[in-house]
């Protein structure tokens, strides 16, 4: 079982971070990593609900899991613990079996004097997701999260 993770200290309280996971405009602003845009097709921010996001590469060089230029993430919300944690189960619709299976993403928000340490831990990462690309994408999403919550 492969596990990928990333962390970032963000100078806001945990409640502000948590809000970025349950408000569609904020989620759409930060989740797509640099080089991609995102569009929410559905959004139900409750346990048992979830969202579907279409991520489109800004460059023609991007190779998608769903089609040539995009990825789709079907996400179920497993846990919402205001203001300390969010857990998602994510599936990537693809004809390529290397992207099959459900990845679990556990987001934790630990308060400190300098802000909130946001950590994401992805377990059962599909084999088709390159470890280096995933690390870059996670770090980029965390940087986007910081930008989104500092201006919100």
pLDDT tens digits, one per residue of 87-142: 999 999 888 899 889 999 999 999 999 999 999 999 999 999 999 999 999 999 99
**pLDDT given at position 78:** 98
Domain containing 75 — which CATH number? Answer: 3.30.530.20
Contact 86, 21 (CB under 8 A): yes
**pLDDT given at position 58:** 80
pLDDT tens digits, one per residue of 24-56: 999 999 999 888 899 999 999 999 999 999 988
Which structural domain range is residue 26 located in? 3-151
**pLDDT given at position 66:** 55
**pLDDT given at position 138:** 97
**pLDDT given at position 62:** 52
78 or 95, which is more confident: 78
Domain count, the chain: 1
**pLDDT given at position 63:** 62
Contact 51, 142 (CB under 8 A): no
- In sequence order, the 6+-apart residues with CB closer than 8 A to the CB of 151 are none
**pLDDT given at position 35:** 87
Cα–Cα distance, 109 to 74 (Å, whole number): 23
**pLDDT given at position 14:** 98
Cα–Cα distance, 85 to 129 (Å, whole number): 24
């Amino acid at each position: 079982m492969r596990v990928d993770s990333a962390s970032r200290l963000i100078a806001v309280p945990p409640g502000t971070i948590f809000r970025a996971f349950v408000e569609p405009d904020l989620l759409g602003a930060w989740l797509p990593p640099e080089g991609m845009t995102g569009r929410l097709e559905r959004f139900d921010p409750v346990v048992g609900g979830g969202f579907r996001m279409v991520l489109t590469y800004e460059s023609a060089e991007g190779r998608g899991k769903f089609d040539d230029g995009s990825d789709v993430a079907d996400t179920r919300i497993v846990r919402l613990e205001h203001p300390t944690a969010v857990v998602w189960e994510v599936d990537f619709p693809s004809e390529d079996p290397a992207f099959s299976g459900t990845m679990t993403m556990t987001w934790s928000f630990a308060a400190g004097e300098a802000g909130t340490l946001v950590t994401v831990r992805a377990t059962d990462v599909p084999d088709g997701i390159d470890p280096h690309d995933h690390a870059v994408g996670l770090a980029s999403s965390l940087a986007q999260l910081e930008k989104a919550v500092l201006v919100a």
